[in-house]
Amino acid sequence: MANSLTAIELGLKTLSAVTARVNGQGPQIVSAGSSPLAGTDPESIRAALSQCGAEGLRAMLVLPRGQSILRDLELPEGSPEELVSMVRFQMERDLPLPLDQVRFSYIETGREGGKVRIQVAACPRDVIDPAIAALEGAGWKVSGATLSSYGLLALCPEGEPVVLVEVAAGEAEILVADGGRMLFSRTAPLPDGPSPDAIAEEIGRTLLAWSARAPGREVRRVLLAGEGPEAVALAADIGARLSRNVDPVGPGDLETAPAAGLCLGLLRGRLVPDLLHPPTALKKYHPTRNHRIIALSAAILLMLGVWSQVALADKRDALKQRQQKLGELEPKAAALLKTQQQTEIAHQWYRKRNLWVPTLTSLRKYVRTDNLWIASASFDDAGLVRIQGKTKDDSHVHALVTALTASGQFEDVNNHGSHQNSDKGDYKRDFSLTAHLKGSRPVAPAAGKPVAPRKK
């Protein structure tokens, strides 16, 4: 776990930045501030961050809930790879945009009765990518991105359902949470600022919507994200209009509370969906039918080799007794030598068969699945390896050729080029390689000479 973290919330009109650090007493806020935002260009962001007193050059980007999408899914239990595939399939059906036009990630919120609950966060690329580019243009490295809802969720107390209200970034975000789990969330714009009347009205609508969605699960406590005199006064005004208590909760003020909650939550180990680093399914290498046939053939050859060695050992004594007769049986001796040479060729071919195991290991070692992956690989008796796969761009194929050549296990590694495919994912190009396993090409045996008869 990192010992410090900066969170930057980029709203439509304001920018908030909070830095927290872990010390002997646990995570503590060391700086927090907000500033009006003149524009979303790097120079305006640099000026706003300077006014906020932001520390460090790496930050977690916090996106307002109103610019993003939240979905709750219930899926059958499965392996991590299966969950990735199921979430992707479900989001392709549910999202209003094509999947290649959004960034999305998810977290698991519970398991029960053979089902797993998944919460998916998504944001259009035309919203998040310009924000990342602007922050990095201002000199900051964006290490991750998530929604303000998860900063609010970190402020919720354990043990009872609550309504938590945030009035930062020009909108009101209202969520219902219980036991650290977000159950319901909605947003409403605040064009005239944090008006108590408008906020109380949105809270009332949220409570009605929650009652219709979950009958009998009444929420009694209402919290306002933020602390300080301004938050206390606003909470009192909202409570008067709702005829119920509204309590402010920190750390942070009305503008910085989501970023502050996110910093403290992450430093305490809370999981949030990171839109820049979603869970991925690892491409696993699975032997094909041809590989199994090759392995079976190698096993048969091994058995034949062992049997032949045992047979030869049994006959070795007999051969020694007959060596004195070889001078008289020169033609038969020449034929026996030829047989031995052919046996050595068979043994050599068998030993080269065993080289496929380190070959597969080498391919596993030098293939980076986050850049490219192998769709198929074939091997023939002459030691020729044919590899076909998919890649993000040609530079990763050149890097694979260089790595295979440098491994010392291949010779004549040839890149036959790549071409664009129609896949929707990041692997946009198909490629093809061939190489020879080093030392695998058959060498013709030297012509044998007849064995001279021993002198008596």
Distance CA 93, CA 113 (A): 25
Q: What is the pLDDT of residues 223-273, one digit of tens each?
A: 999 999 999 999 999 999 999 899 999 888 888 999 999 999 999 888 999
Torsion of CA 5, 6, 7, 8, to 10 degrees: -170
Same domain, 336 and 307: yes
DSSP letter string, 137-189: HTT-EEEEEEEHHHHHHTTSPSSS-EEEEE--TTEEEEEEEETTEEEEEEEEE
Q: How far is CA 26 from CA 2, 3, 20, 21, in A?
A: 12, 10, 10, 8
Same domain, 362 and 339: no
pTM of structure: 0.59
Name the pLDDT band for 451 (thresholds 50, 70, 90): very low
How far is C-alpha 310 from the chain's CA centre? 53
Domain presence at residue 164: yes
Domain that holds residue 307: 291-354
Number of domains in the chain: 3
Distance CA 174, CA 8 (A): 20
Question: Do residues 443 and 415 make contact, with C-beta atoms less than 8 angstroms apart?
Answer: no
Domain of residue 203, CATH code:
3.30.420.40
Question: Do residues 242 and 263 make contact, with C-beta atoms less than 8 angstroms apart?
Answer: no
Last residue of a domain, one of 249, 280, 307: 249
Closest by alpha carbon to 14, among 120, 171, 156, 151?
171
Which token pair is 343?
């046996």
Same domain, 343 and 380: no
Distance CA 413, CA 385 (A): 9
Same domain, 179 and 160: yes
Q: What is the pLDDT of residues 29-69, one digit of tens each?
A: 988 999 998 888 899 999 999 999 887 788 999 998 888 88
Q: What are phi and psi of 63, to 5 degrees?
A: -100, 135
Question: Do you find a cis peptide bond into 251, omega within 30 degrees of 0?
Answer: yes
Domain presence at residue 212: yes
Same domain, 171 and 227: yes
Last residue of a domain, one of 307, 339, 354: 354
Domain presence at residue 101: no
Report the pLDDT averaged over residues 352-367: 65
% of the chain surpassing 90 pLDDT: 27
Contacts of 156 (CB under 8 A, 6+ apart): 162, 164, 177, 180, 223
The answer to whether the Cα torsion of 63, 68, 74, 76 is positive or negative is: negative
* b/e map 322-331, b = 16+ CB within 10 Å: eeeebeeeee
Domain presence at residue 346: yes
Distance CA 34, CA 333 (A): 97
Same domain, 314 and 332: yes
Same domain, 378 and 395: yes
Query: pLDDT: is 348 or 17 the higher one?
Result: 17
Distance CA 163, CA 204 (A): 11
Domain presence at residue 345: yes
- H helices present in 283-429, as ranges: 289-322, 330-354, 356-366, 394-406
Distance CA 216, CA 36 (A): 43
Same domain, 323 and 391: no
Same domain, 238 and 296: no
Domain presence at residue 420: yes
Domain presence at residue 282: no
Q: What is the spatial order of strands in the sheet that 4-10 belongs to?
A: 26-36, 14-23, 4-10, 58-63, 141-147
Last residue of a domain, one of 354, 389, 404: 354
Q: What is the pLDDT of residues 84-134, one digit of tens each?
A: 999 999 888 888 889 899 999 999 988 888 899 999 999 999 999 999 999
Domain of residue 394, CATH code:
3.30.1360.100
Same domain, 360 and 342: no
Same domain, 414 and 427: yes
Same domain, 299 and 380: no
Domain presence at residue 111: no
